[in-house]
Amino acid sequence: MSTEDAALPVAPKLDGPAPRVLVVRAPYYVAVVDGLTEGALGILRQAGAASAVLDVAGALELPAAVRLAVRAEERTGERRWDGFVALGCVVRGDTDHYDHVCRESIGGLSAVALRHGLCLGIGVLTVDRVEDALLRAGGSDGPNKGAEAAVAALLQIRAARWLGAV
């Protein structure tokens, strides 16, 4: 299924209290990440979720920011977030830096989520051109990968609740 064929995301129904979701974003490409954020927050509002947005410098800092949120919860003994949404954009350049940033940011997010059992939706675009990213960030009312990442986080929260993991 291509992005063009995908149905527009809608917030899943969750039983229990309103979920609390931290959106961590790397607004290096501001227009792209603002579009992703708008899509994610729209889904979170539909779900009745409480949310907050935290900006970091770039895609490489996304995993560390999520880990810091977990560390703060460990330190205080208080669970503040039910889930996380990570948003960013990496555009291919003339060097292999793109490959390293893509691998480390996505791999780092996955590693933090697996290690700590986090409910995480990843909306980090990896594209050849900014124009490609804008199309995936709700441009021209098209698909929004930020919205899809928020749906993924909410579905993970629902699964964690159903399984008794939280």
* Catalytic residue annotation: 97
User: Does residue 12 fall inside a structural domain?
Assistant: no
Q: Dump pLDDT digits (tens) for 99-120.
A: 999 999 999 999 999 999 999 9
Q: By three-state DSSP, how is residue 101 classified?
A: helix
User: Does residue 33 fall inside a structural domain?
Assistant: yes
Q: How many domains, the chain? A: 1
User: Does residue 9 fall inside a structural domain?
Assistant: no
Assigned token pair, 105:
């940011």
Give the domain range for residue 94. 18-163
User: Does residue 102 fall inside a structural domain?
Assistant: yes
CATH number of the domain within which 29 lies: 3.40.50.960
DSSP 8-state class, residue 55: E
The predicted model scores a pTM of 0.95
Q: Dump pLDDT digits (tens) for 13-55.
A: 999 999 999 999 999 999 999 999 999 999 999 999 999 999 9
User: Does residue 5 fall inside a structural domain?
Assistant: no
The answer to whether the beta carbons of residues 62 and 86 sit under 8 Å apart is yes
User: Does residue 8 fall inside a structural domain?
Assistant: no
